[in-house]
Chains A and B, each alone.
Chain A
Amino acid sequence: MVSKEEPLGFLPKEKLKEFVQELLGLGVVLAPKKEGDITIMQEIRTAGELAEDFEQTRNNLRTIVEPQNEILLTYQPSAELFCEENLPEEKQKIVFWCRPCDARAISYLDDNFKDEPFPDPYYIRRRDRVLLIGLGCDSPFPYCFCSSIGGSPFGKDNLDIVMTRVDRGYILEYITENGQEIGRKMSDIIQRLTDDDMTEMRKVQENADKMIRRKAPDPSDISRKLSSMFESPIWKKWGDKCIGCGICTYLCPTCWCFDINDVESRGKGYRIRTWDSCQFPLFTLHTSSHNPRPDKGSRVRQRVMHKYNYHPINYGGRIACVGCGRCSELCPMDIDLISILEDISKAGEKDA
């Protein structure tokens, strides 16, 4: 049963700060904040810290549901029983102005961390207490290609509210009951929408779609072709270019691999989970010195195959890429994911 309340609301430009200030009273707010030349999605304590005009945030939402470093267990090195769980506090977190692609990427993290037979309690505790307020991309970035991979600059996946920027403010679409609840709490700030606002919203959204310049080849076709391309020469070609820095995996919103290590500090011990990357040779190195993925080509293959072939096989055809373009934009060697996908598309044709 759809709620009788308005599914839409209007936030005038001059009330934005007030809106954020209200959010700060409801929980921990994470929002885009300038840090030198780049924008980072991070905790803000005052509404003034919000970057109103911002580039794509350098980090994605993985930092919020699975932090880069996390204490899993603590122990007393001398005590007889050593383990104590360190499950995260269940504080309400509100992510303000994340991009729809980053929000969509959380589905793929859910696939992994919520999966049976061993759902991850650390992840689930955080995930269940995150509310996502997205800002649609009215002017997509040069490397974006979300629309050719099943996403959209105004996609709604995982979002509780999606906002569209129009001339005199922001239009709020409430997607979930939690989103609607925010609207109710802010009823003295949020106004009714006019027909003109509606028309403008539609125009902004249509325009955004047209502004996406980059197109990836048909992803389901790539996915299918990859099944027979394990030994293709393209992996060596791209592997030779790669320096194995792992930045593509650290910035990827759908990457989730991690490492677990023990450290001791000031008489206390910690078992820590840290992000790890399949682009590092150590990732698969056995203690016997045998390495099943011994060269960069095989590691580049792992990254592309995992997103476009293995994940779809395991999770109902869903491709674990949202087209945010970070891996292409920030690769120091200019390894462009779309170029790799085009190679796959061409190589597949030759084989057939």
Chain B
Amino acid sequence: MIDNSCIAGDRSNPFLPEMMRIVRRFDLTSDVRFFQVRPTEASRALTLYYKPGTFMMVSNPGVGEAPLSISSTPSRPGLIEFCVRNVGHVTNSLFRMKENDEIGIRGPYGNGFPIETLKGRDLIIVMGGLGAAPLRSLLLYALDNRDDFGEIYLLHGAKNPHEMLFRKEFYDMMERDDLHCMLSVDKDDTGKWPAKVGLVTSLFKEIKHIDPKTTHAAICGPPVMYRFVLQELLKLKIPKHQILMNLERRMKCGVGKCGHCVVREVYTCLDGPVFSYWDVLNMKELIY
């Protein structure tokens, strides 16, 4: 007998996934694929709300579950998007799935970005590599609610143009006059790169129109990036509690039970994955 409660939205069992159908998928880079999914149960699409910066446990029956950041914005309801890098056995199996295949989803989980607090503020969004996945959610949310925010800076770093996620989307954003879209690659091996060559930190000197007291920064990228980006943000005099980071840990349950993601007394899955720079300074294991 097959139990249908999992698609009817019965949330009393946090381990029970609900079904989603893959609507669209395409490659962002040689090893990162974009997935767009929607709930199999049409009415669920209307009630599924999440905050930018939250994540979901995505599962493929028979293979397992993996925590994935949500890349889409709640301001465009109905569809949920993920960026998946082909590295583990779960992500590997997702790469074998096609449009209309079903996957299991639990969540959304995590605290997400404090979007109510961010309203009326200037934003500096710094993303490197796969860090674009969770921060794209915040970026699109801010652009969709453009009047709620002050200046918005997007600083994006990639190793080279081939490794950049959402290339087309971010190129187009360079044309917008309500966003300072600054893109950089460490090395341009194509000869056609239209933006800056250099580390993401080299983009900071172009930030001019902000009042640090009312500016929030959001960072996500590879571990090596944080130290240098944090230095730049401190140079801009942005208060530590206004510097936010989307950090990740190995997770198994996503609901604060399994113990994998604990950093000191904090559960990354419940109290994170968004932490402030103060949190990082007070919780040694978090990134350093």
Residues of A at the B interface (CB closer than 8 Å) are 72-73, 75-77, 79-85, 87, 112-113, 115, 117-118, 120-122, 230-231, 256-262, 264, 269, 271, 276, 278, 283-288, 290, 292-293, 298, 305-306, 309-311, 313-314
Contacts and interface: CB of A to CB of B under 8 A. Distances in A.
Given A258-B259, A261-B64, A81 B265 contact: no
A118 B269 CA distance: 12
Interface string B1-19: 1111111000011111101
A88 to B, nearest CB: 12
A310 B260 contact: no
Contacts, number: 124
Interface of B: 1-7, 12-17, 19, 59, 61-65, 85, 87-88, 91, 102, 104, 222-223, 248-250, 252-253, 255-260, 262-265, 270, 284-286
Contacts of B85: 287
A198 to B, nearest CB: 44
Contacts of B62: 75, 77, 262, 264, 269
A256 B62 CA distance: 25
Nearest to A305: B264
Contacts of B260: 257, 259, 276, 283-284
Given A83-B16, A87-B13, A288-B87, A259 B258 contact: yes
Contacts of B16: 73, 83, 85
Contact of B249 (A115, A230, A284, A311): A284
Nearest to A289: B87
19 contacts: A75-B61, A76-B2, A82-B104, A87-B13, A112-B257, A115-B256, A117-B270, A120-B14, A258-B252, A258-B257, A262-B59, A262-B62, A269-B61, A276-B258, A276-B260, A287-B85, A288-B87, A298-B285, A311-B265
Dominant SS at the B interface? loop
Closest 8 CB pairs of A and B: A257-B259, A118-B255, A310-B265, A118-B14, A82-B61, A313-B265, A84-B3, A287-B88
Nearest to B87: A287
A85 B263 contact: no
Given A77-B62, A85-B16, A286 B104 contact: no
B113 to A, nearest CB: 19
A290 B221 CA distance: 13
B3 A83 contact: yes
Contact of A83 (B17, B63, B64, B250): B17
Contact of B64 (A72, A79, A260): A260
A309 B256 CA distance: 18
Contact of B1 (A84, A261, A284): A84
A259 B252 contact: yes
